[in-house]
Chains A and B, each alone.
Chain A
Amino acid sequence: MLLKVVFAGPMGSGKSTAIGVLSDIEPVATEAKNNERFKVDKPTTTVGLDYGEILLGDAGKVALYGIPGQERFDFMWPIVAKGAMGVILLLDCSQDNYIEKLASFADTFSKWVDPGSFVVALNRGTENDLEACNLLVEKRDVVMPVFMADPREKDDLNMLLHVLISNAEIRLLQE
């Protein structure tokens, strides 16, 4: 049995880091030289997919996909998101346009996953950032879980997965 969890978010939001923290196998990365250092100052960026796995013994495994954040790779998004248990959107609140990014990703991914399975994780955020994101989501008349979370912290990532599990359980129990 295979579960799929997708990590989405703009460049530099911590997708590769999160998969590295959660994965039981050495993550597969497709890093290339970052030609957009004027946007996010890091030497490399993901151009294909990040991939990791949480191994669950006989029960199966959870495949962790990190999709590239740049919109020119958006053709990949529906392919990867198809059949996913949920999507975790990582946002770095220190980036100027993180609210616009939330709107854009939420509108795009709500075509493939229901709002409860689209979890927003705010890194380096304040209560005001949280409030702003909740308001944006509310204006779309959906309820998306929005949390403060650090992609380097396993406890934070476990909590995000816990939300996806709860949603999956509710879906199963209500069928």
Chain B
Amino acid sequence: MQLFSDSGDVCVTKLNFSAIGLDEKADALLARQLKIVTPWLTAEWSMNAEPEASDFILTTSKSLLPSSFQGVSVLLLEKLSDDDHDMVAELPLRVFSLMDILNKAGERITNDLSAIPEVSAESIVTASEKTTEKISFSCAEWLSQRMLEKVACFYIAKDKGASFSFDPVKKVFRSNIESRDELIKLLLMHPVEHWDIRADDETSEAYEFSATGLLWLLALKESRYALHVWGSPNRVYRIKHWPQLAAWENVPALYKLSSLYGRKAATIDTGVKISGLEERHVCAFLHACNVVGLKVEVCDSETADRLQPSVQSLNILQALKKKLGV
């Protein structure tokens, strides 16, 4: 399992699995099915020919599992009985069953992790993947909706005593977690369905964080979801308001994206070219703008830029950036 890239700055959840006991034809079919379901998976899965080195194994018999294997496995059976539990699947394996199995296995594996990967503030844009992120659910969107409805107290992880609440008057989150990055990490690691949500606030939270700032950072990390929702190649987007980058996240590439989508309606592809970020991170930027209410418009076509004489040389801009420490 790989949580970080070689450069150490991207914590993508990469998992692999093996299939044991299937014939060659079923193996090939499985590889094709994996390709089909990949966009809907919560982790980046690949097939591994070596079961001993796999995070997860599909097997037709438990006796076929390598003796050293301590990980998660699913038993593939010709016919299911009522006694069978969730980590059993019926043969032939359907596409949707594979998707369901891999997502369940991914969740189980990542929940078993004792160590949570560190996400530094500096890597907040690139570190936009996390272990329990779902392609069809945005924690940031969900929270922004709850904020509109009522004051609520959320207990994220009972065992860790982590909780936070929303103050609609001051527009802040109060939490007993001291660090904003730590709170975001907890939000991402613990699925909403496991939270304990109460209308009354019984905790004595001490630390305050700007609600929009926290939602912004949270949404920036939901790049899988963002890619799914915003990643249409033909659509063009424009933002109506600038994000408060200095207060929320001071990353140079986000200035470029804000300039681009503020100046004109543009595609995701144009955003990728201008910012040098990956498609999913450009989508995450638009997703974050949307979550914090910066009004992202979907337009019909790319619009022309306003005319203003441009600076004649990039050199002087580079020199100024260097001087400013950008």
Contacts and interface: CB of A to CB of B under 8 A. Distances in A.
Interface of A: 1, 3, 54, 56-57, 59-60, 62, 83, 85, 113-117, 127, 130, 134, 137-138, 143-149, 155-156, 158-159, 161-163, 165-175
The 4 closest A-B pairs by CB, nearest first: A59-B319, A114-B306, A166-B255, A171-B310
A138 B320 contact: no
Contact of B311 (A130, A143, A149, A172): A172
B320 A117 contact: no
A134 B259 contact: no
Contact of A168 (B305, B306, B317): B317
Interface in B226-269: 238-242, 244-247, 250, 252, 255-256, 258-260, 262-263
A162 B311 CA distance: 14
Contact of B241 (A60, A138, A161): A138
Nearest to A86: B308
A60 B313 CA distance: 11
B263 A167 contact: yes
Nearest to B255: A166
A169 B259 contact: yes
B263 A168 contact: no
B326 A114 contact: no
B216 to A, nearest CB: 13
B137 to A, nearest CB: 28
Contact of A60 (B238, B250, B252, B316): B316
Contacts of B319: 56-57, 59-60
A174 B315 CA distance: 16
Nearest to A128: B171
Contacts of A54: 320, 323
